[in-house]
Amino acid sequence: MDWTKESIQQPTAKLKAQGNRERIKFAVGGLLLVSAVAFLLVSGTLGGVRFFITIDELLSGAHPVGETVRITGAVIGESIQYDPQTLDLSFTIAHMSVDTPDLARALHEAVLDPNAPRLTVYMTNQVKPDLLRNEAQAILTGSLQADGRFYGDSVLLKCPSRFDDPHPGEAVLAAEGNP
């Protein structure tokens, strides 16, 4: 038996070139991936700086007519009009304070305040949402047009009274063994 180490053949020039090409492909792919992630982070951060604006801000003229914006307001129940044949929906929302921790109170006060700025929303080809009712918070995407009407594209609704406990404290008393 021969205990000598066999000589390892050095890679040929062809194998070296192929290895370099693989490294370049890997580097380019990694660079594209990092660039895509960076783009998504920057565009998501800049595009979503503010979730919505208030009716007051929209009517102040800070946003150009026709610009797509997201607004919020309290739905005034008696203003809701819906035609199931044409799927035309319109309703009025009132300016509400967004700085209060008690959403239900802010919605209630906005609807009752006759001096609160109001805006009528028009939506076409829209099925009437179940949560569209008096004192619901509406978050709408759309644009204010030159005729002074707000044309909505989509609507999100929050109705805090729907999720309130009708008898707060009863579950706690029952759990403690009190009738």
pLDDT in tens, 69-78: 899 999 999 9
pLDDT band at 20 (very low <50, low <70, confident <90, very high): confident
* pLDDT confidence bin for 160, thresholds 50/70/90: low
Dump pLDDT digits (tens) for 137-155.
999 999 988 888 899 999 9
DSSP 28: H
Structure tokens that stand for 149 in this block: 């009407």
Q: Residue 42 is inside which H or E element, if any?
A: helix 13-47
Residue 23 pLDDT exceeds 60: yes
Residue 33: both structure tokens together:
């991936």
> Do the Cβ atoms of 56 and 95 come closer than 8 Å?
yes
Are 95 and 55 in contact by the 8 Å Cβ rule? The answer is: yes
Q: How much is the pTM?
A: 0.62
126 vs 12, higher pLDDT: 126
Q: What is the DSSP string of 94-156?
A: E---SS-S-HHHHHHHHHH-TTS-EEEEEESS-PPPTT--TT-EEEEEEEE-TTS-EEEEEEE
Q: What pLDDT is recorded for position 31? A: 86
Tokens of 58: 């929209």
Structure tokens at 153: 């594209």
Q: Where are the domains of the chain?
A: 53-163
pLDDT reading at 9 higher than 70: no
CATH 2.40.50.140 fits 53-163, yes or no: yes
What is the predicted pLDDT for the residue at 172?
41
Tens digit of pLDDT for each residue in 161-171?
Answer: 555 544 444 44
β-strands 137-144, 88-94 pairing: unpaired
60-103 pLDDT, tens digit each: 877 778 888 899 999 999 999 999 999 999 999 999 887 778 88
Q: Are 142 and 153 in contact (CB under 8 A)?
A: yes
> Tens of pLDDT along 111-132?
999 999 999 999 999 899 988 9
